[in-house]
Amino acid sequence: MRPPRTDRGRLLLVLGLAAAVTAFTATVPLLRDWFDLRVYYGTIDTWIHHGGRIYDYRVPGTPYGFTYPPFAAVAMLPMALLSLRGAITVALLLNLVALAVVLRLLAGRAWRRYGWYGCALAACVLALFEPLRDTLSFGQVNLLLLALVLLDGRLLATGRGRWAGAGIGLAAAVKLTPALFIGLLLVARRWRAAAVATAVAVGATALAAWAAPGASRFYWTEAMWDTTRVGRLDYVSNQSLQGVLARLDVHSREVWAVVALSVLCVWAARAHRAVAAGDWQAAFALTGLTACLVSPITWVHHLVWLLPSFAVLLRTGYPRVAGALYAVMCTSVVWLWFHDASGVDGFIGSNTYAWITLGLLLWLPSGQLSPARRSLNPTISAAAPAPRAPAAAINAASGQPGPPPRGARDAAAGSAAGPGGGSARSASSEPTGSTRPAASNPQSSSSRASS
């Protein structure tokens, strides 16, 4: 089947896909009714308007309450001025803006080549991605944190790292999972950015301790170490390494620590090589993958941290691999083993997303950048030889963010033109591919869990 070539045909295709996506999301029994946002809203309302304590609140009829660090509650204080419907509206708008920022940061300048048609197709594809659907439906904060972290990644990749680390620090103060990105800055020897991230995280935490001293004391001494407050480790939505072990009925913390440490060693080695090659996007993608694996609990909606990995696969010429993995993560397949995850099929199927995350950590291409792009990284350009003129010309013509130095551009123009004044050939940017996720009819659960 050939894609439509006229605007009318493209519009009809987009409308048809949008209708199919709407029907899918309206009928699949995985809509979460803003459950996590109700936790946030109830916590803030009880704390501000009724004199309650942050970690004592429970959603009526459930054992679930607030599980984030105290600074997250401080950051959510504006909800005290809104009704629940107002909070839902604002949360949805913020998530959509954060998603647009994330996509812009991941795609760079390449998005301009596809216009409204490409953007509309991408929106339909993204609407099927289960972690994204869950994030929006729960009213979660994952996209906001991902946007903050990727903004720092852009600053580092383009050599504008004076304030790099602030976004990571804020994200780590709201939720513990992004704290691993401070580890990435240390692995990359970006001491200033690591110091900024640490200072921001500590400052935000101190602000929360001043605003809610009792809650801060309780969280850092008790709640932080009690994973049962978040939910059952063996719950099928927990796609972390500890979730895999729990479904195998292995509850030894020592075993989990050994497995997690092994994964961290692999991450440190791969991330260091990516940074050495100037490939910050891959380094951040690898860190997001690792954070999901080593966190004690990684609900399906946390897996929006895999989006940078799919961007890396597309950029490095693996659209079919990206499409296949993405399609699997649109099917909600893990819920087929909600009631019983025993046996070989349960071991494989109930941990499908964890296997995808682990496979990407081990195999994700990284370091595939031109020498001219590597020159944007000061720590690399100091040790690496100067880029050749043809490489600089190719980089200038590609869709990758960040121009090469002026001298390199001038040299490239002169070399490409030559004595006879011929024009330089432009190179296309890395290939991309569309994904067509499968839309099976997954099982679901009425159980709720906030994290």
Please provide the DSSP assignment of 32-71 as one string: -TTHHHHHHHHHHHHHHHS---GGG---TTSS----S-HH
- pLDDT number for residue 24: 78
- pLDDT number for residue 348: 94
- pLDDT number for residue 25: 74
What residues contact residue 231 under an 8 Å CB cut-off, 6+ apart?
64, 237, 238, 297, 299, 449, 450, 451
What does pLDDT average to in each consecutive run of 10 residues of the chain (451 residues)? 76 85 72 87 93 89 89 95 94 94 86 75 88 92 96 88 90 94 95 95 96 92 77 91 94 93 97 94 96 95 96 93 94 91 92 97 80 43 38 36 42 38 35 35 40 49
Environment class of residue 241 by beta-carbon count within 10 Å: exposed (0-12), middle (13-18) or buried (19+)?
buried
Neighbours of 449 (CB within 10 A): 21
Which tokens sit at 80?
A: 């005290």
184 three-state secondary structure: helix
Under DSSP, the state recorded for 369 is -
- pLDDT number for residue 31: 64
pTM for the full predicted model: 0.79
- pLDDT number for residue 370: 40
d(CA 98, CA 92): 10
- pLDDT number for residue 319: 92
d(CA 165, CA 135): 24
Length of the chain: 451
- pLDDT number for residue 111: 66
32 within 8 A of 26, measured Cβ to Cβ: no
d(CA 390, CA 387): 8
**Residue (of 283, 365, 258) closest to 322 by Cα position:** 365
**How many angstroms separate the Cα of 373 from the Cα of each of 20, 279, 328?**
41, 9, 33
Under DSSP, the state recorded for 123 is H
**Residue (of 158, 432, 408, 403) closest to 278 by Cα position:** 158
**Residue (of 231, 224, 228, 225) closest to 70 by Cα position:** 224
Name residue, tokens 């927990």.
238
**Residue (of 363, 364, 362, 190) closest to 262 by Cα position:** 362
- pLDDT number for residue 22: 80
Environment class of residue 116 by beta-carbon count within 10 Å: exposed (0-12), middle (13-18) or buried (19+)?
exposed
- pLDDT number for residue 227: 67
Report the half-sphere exposure of 196 (CA within 13 A, side-chain side): 15
Q: Which residues of 349-373 are buried (b: 16+ CB within 10 A; e: fewer)?
A: bbbbbbebbbebbeebebbebbbbb
